Structure 1
Amino acid sequence: MGTEKNDASVAPIPAPPVTPSVPGPPMPAGAGVAFTPVSAQGKKRMKLIGILVGVLVVLVIAGVVAIKVVNSSRTPEAEVRKYLDLLAAGKASAATAMVDPGVPNNQRTFLTDDAMASATSLLVVEDVVADKNDDSDIRTVTATLSVDGQHFTRTFTVVADDPAMGVFNTWTIKESLATAVSVSGVKIDQFSVGGVSTSIESSSATLDKDTYVFYPGIYTLTPIAPNEYVDAYPVTIYVREGVRTTSVDEGVTFLGLYTDKLTDEVHTAIRERVGSCVSASSYASSQCPSALNNATTSSVDIKELPAELTQSRGGSTTLEGDVVLEYDSAKGRKEARTTAVVTMRTDERRMLALTPDGKPDFTLTFRY
C-alpha cells in the first residue's frame, strides 16, 4: 500500500505552442532596392522627348548643310558674275545699286535702264575666274568681256564683309565698270541718249568739258538744237573699260552748224540792205556794196545770193557769202561782185543770240 504511494509520478507541464512564421515576398538574387514601375504617361513623355531631340539633331544637320549650300553660291566669283550679268541685261539701276560708281549725281545721268536700252550693243560676259586664295578676305576676280565683238579684260577687287545673319558670306566689289566721257558743245547746250537728256554747261570756248559716265556699250549721243537756226550731227560712242570711241578719248564736242533757216534770214537782210543803198548810193558806207557807193543808180538787181555761208577767217561766228549785183550806171548796165559778211552775236558759250522777236541776231556788212 505504502509502495503504491511512493511509485506514483507527477504529470509533466506542457510547453507553449510555437507560432509558425509567415513567408515574405521572394527577393531576386543580388537585388537590394525595389523600383516602382513607370506609368504609361511617363513612357509617353520620354518618347516625345526622344522624338524632339531627334528632330533638333536633324534640323541642326540640315541647317549646317543649307548654310554650306548657300555659301557655295555666295563667292567672289559669283558676286562679280551677278554684277556683270546685270550690265549685260541692261539693268543699269540694279548694277549701280550693287556697285557704286563713286561719282557725283550730276555725272550719273545716263546710268539708267532707258539709256542702256538705246545702246546698239551691250556687254557680253565671256568668262569670270577668281584667284585661288580661298581663305583670304580680299580676293581678285578677272573677267573676260566684250562689246560688239571687241574683247577686253577687267580685274575686280572683292572684299569680304560681315556675314549676313552671322552665317551667310557677303562680298563687296570695289571697282565699277562705269567709264567717264567728257562732253562739250559749240552752239549746242543739250543732248540726249535714249530719251534721257541733259544740259551741257561747258563749251570748247572755255576749254572745259562736262563729264558723264556710261556702262559698256555703243551709244548715240543726239544733240538738241536750241532753236531752228542751229543744228548738229549725232555722235556715236563706243564705251568699254578705258576706251570710248574714235574721238571720245579727247571727249565729245557737238559742233553746232547754222541751218538753211539762218541762210534765209541772211538773204532777206541782204535784199533789204541793197534796196536801202539805192536811195543813198552817193553815201559811201561799209554797210553798202562799194559798187553802189561809187555809182548813181536808180535800180539794182540781185542776180545771185550766197547759196551757203562759210566760216570766215575771223572765227566761227563770222560767215561770208558772195553776192552778184546788176545795176544802172552812167556807162550803162553793170555787174558787180561783193562779199556779204555776217557776224553772229553769241554768248560766252558761243550760243546764238536771238532778237526779241525770235530772229537770229547778226550784223551785215559788205566787203568790196
Structure 2
Amino acid sequence: MSTDNNETTGSEIPAPSPAGADPTSGAAPIPGPGAAPVPGPGAAPVPGPGGVPAAGVSFTPVSPGARKRVKVIGALVGVLVVLVIAGVVAIKVMNSSRTPEAEVRKYLDLLASGQASAATAMVDPGVRNDQRSFLTDDVMASATSLLVVEDVVADKNDSSDTRMVTATMQVNGERFTHEFTVTKGASTMGVLNNWTVKDSLVARVSVDVEGYAQFSVGGVNADASAVGRNEQENDYLFYPGVYTFTPIAASEYADSNPETVSVLDDGLGGRDNVVTLKATYNTKLTAAAIEAGQWAIDTCSTIPGNQNSWCPFAIQSDAVTAVTGGSMPKALAPVSEEQPTVFRATVVFTATYNNKYYMAGTQDVEAKVEIRAQLDDNQVLKLDKDGKPDFEVSFTR
C-alpha cells in the first residue's frame, strides 16, 4: 500500500518540541531526566551550584565615623612607634657624647680657651682659697700660650664605673700627658649617662724670691717667700700655660725683672715648676752706698769721732791729735753677684800722733771700708725712716 508523505494514517502523535515544551502552548515545560526542579511562581530563588543558603545570616555595613576612628587609631599607633624608635636613637646619640673621654675633653677645652672659672667649677682643685688666686680668667688671659689638646683616650674597661682617661697635650711646644680618673654617676632620667672628672689639671709652682716681697701675674699680686721654701702647701697653683712672673720692687733701689715660665703638669703632682726671682739693684743703691761710706769717712776724720769702734783701729787712739780722711771713689761696684748689696773701697786717712805711743808725727793710714745694706728675712732691702737704705759701715786694714 502506498502512502503519501503529507498524509497520516490513523491517529497522529505529535513529536515533542526541541526545548521540551511547545513555545506556543501555555503549559510549563516538563523537565527532562536528571534536571533540577523548576520553582513555581512566588517561590524563592534557588541558589546556584556552590552557593550558600542565606537563610538566618545578615551583614551590617560599617559607618563612615567608625572607619574614621579606625584610621585615627592606626595613625596614632604609627606615630607612637616612630616616636619610640626616634627616642631610642636620640638617647644613643646623646650618650655617645656623654662618655669619659668626652667629659675630659670638655674640661680640657675650657682650659684651652682660657675659661679658668668654668674649669674650676667643673673640677674642683681641692685646695685652700688662698692658693686659687691665680686660677682666674684674667690670669689665663695674660698667658702668651695656653693648652693645646692633642689626644684623649679612655681605657678599654667599658663596663667599669671608674675609668682612666689619658690626655696628651702641649704648652708652647712642650708635650706632656696626664691620666685622669673619671667616675660614673647616677643617670639622668635613668637613661642618660653622667661622668665626673675627679682630678684637676692644676700645676704647682714654687715661687722663690730674693730681694722682693711680692710678685704679680696677670694683674694678681701675691706675697713672695724667701729662697729655699719647701712646703708644698705654700705653692701657688696655675693652669698650664706660659706666664710672666713680675716681681714688685719694694723700693726705688731695686729693679723689677720679670721671668717668663712655661707652667706644665708633670703628671705626678710634683713641683717641677720653680720660678726664681732675684733682685738686681740699680745705680741709686750704688750712689746711696757711696754717700754712706763718705759719711763714715768724714765721721772718723774728726776728733773725737775717730774713736768710734767702727773707725779704723789705727786712728782710734787718743794719741791722734789730728786726722783727715780721703774720699770715696766715684765709681763703685758690688762685691759679687751673690752679694749685690755689699760694697767695698780703699780709702786713705792722714793721722798725726803725739809721743804717747812712740808714734810721733804724721802718717797715712790705709783702710778698707765695707758698706753693707741691711736686709730683712726675705732678703728685702731695709729702709730707714727717711726711706733710704739702712747701711752698716765698717773699716778693715
What is the Cα deviation at residue 302 of structure 1?
Answer: 0.8
Does the 8 A contact of 1:122 with 1:147 survive in 2? yes
What is the Cα deviation at residue 178 of structure 1?
Answer: 0.9
Q: Distance in 2 between matches of 1:208 and 1:223?
A: 21
Task: Could you tell me which runs of 5 or more consecutive residues in structure 1 were left unpaired when the two chains were aligned.
Answer: 1-27
Aligned partner (choices 364, 374, 384) of residue 344 of structure 1: 374
What is the Cα deviation at residue 162 of structure 1?
Answer: 1.1
Does the 8 A contact of 1:142 with 1:153 survive in 2? yes
Cα RMSD for the two superposed structures: 3.6
Q: Distance in 1 between matches of 2:59 and 2:124?
A: 77
What is the Cα deviation at residue 334 of structure 1?
Answer: 5.0
Instruction: State whether structure 2 residue 233 is matched by structure 1 residue 190.
Output: no
3-state DSSP of counterpart to 2:182: strand
Aligned partner (choices 56, 76, 85) of residue 61 of structure 1: 85
> TM-score, normalising length from structure 2?
0.71
Task: Could you tell me which runs of 5 or more consecutive residues in structure 2 were left unpaired when the two chains were aligned.
Answer: 1-52, 354-360
Does the 8 A contact of 1:179 with 1:239 survive in 2? yes
**Using a 3 Å threshold, how does the CA distance of structure 1 residues 345 and 179 change in structure 2: closer, same or farther?**
closer
Aligned partner (choices 327, 334, 355) of residue 309 of structure 1: 334
Does the 8 A contact of 1:281 with 1:292 survive in 2? no
What is the Cα deviation at residue 50 of structure 1?
Answer: 4.3
Work out which of the two has the higher radius of gyration on C-alpha atoms and give 1 or 2. 2
> TM-score, normalising length from structure 1?
0.76
Q: Once the two structures are superposed, what CA deviation does each residue of 1:267-324 show, in whole Å capped at 9, x if it has no partner? A: 2222223223332268433433456557655654415156123369xx9697231143
Aligned partner (choices 256, 269, 272) of residue 279 of structure 2: 256
Letter in 2 for 1:310: V
Letter in 2 for 1:304: P
Aligned to 1:105: 129
Aligned to 1:356: 385
**Using a 3 Å threshold, how does the CA distance of structure 1 residues 173 and 207 change in structure 2: closer, same or farther?**
closer
What is the Cα deviation at residue 186 of structure 1?
Answer: 3.1
3-state DSSP of counterpart to 2:80: helix
Q: Once the two structures are superposed, what CA deviation does each residue of 1:124-155 show, in whole Å capped at 9, x if it has no partner? A: 22212222333322222222222222323222
Aligned to 1:238: 262
Alignment of 1:267-286 (within 5 A): 267-280=290-303, 283-286=306-309
**Using a 3 Å threshold, how does the CA distance of structure 1 residues 289 and 250 change in structure 2: closer, same or farther?**
farther
Q: Distance in 1 between matches of 2:273 and 2:174?
A: 21
Aligned to 1:21: none
Aligned to 1:94: 118
**Using a 3 Å threshold, how does the CA distance of structure 1 residues 70 and 249 change in structure 2: closer, same or farther?**
closer
Aligned partner (choices 279, 288, 292) of residue 265 of structure 1: 288
Aligned partner (choices 168, 179, 182) of residue 155 of structure 1: 179
Q: Once the two structures are superposed, what CA deviation does each residue of 1:58-91 show, in whole Å capped at 9, x if it has no partner? A: 3232222211111111111111122222222222
Does the 8 A contact of 1:306 with 1:323 survive in 2? no
Q: Once the two structures are superposed, what CA deviation does each residue of 1:251-272 show, in whole Å capped at 9, x if it has no partner? A: 4343334443222222222222
What is the Cα deviation at residue 37 of structure 1?
Answer: 6.1
> Identity, % of aligned pairs?
48
Does the 8 A contact of 1:232 with 1:255 survive in 2? no
| Length, aligned pairs only | 336
Does the 8 A contact of 1:281 with 1:296 survive in 2? no
What is the Cα deviation at residue 171 of structure 1?
Answer: 0.7
Does the 8 A contact of 2:181 with 2:199 survive in 1? yes
What is the Cα deviation at residue 93 of structure 1?
Answer: 1.9
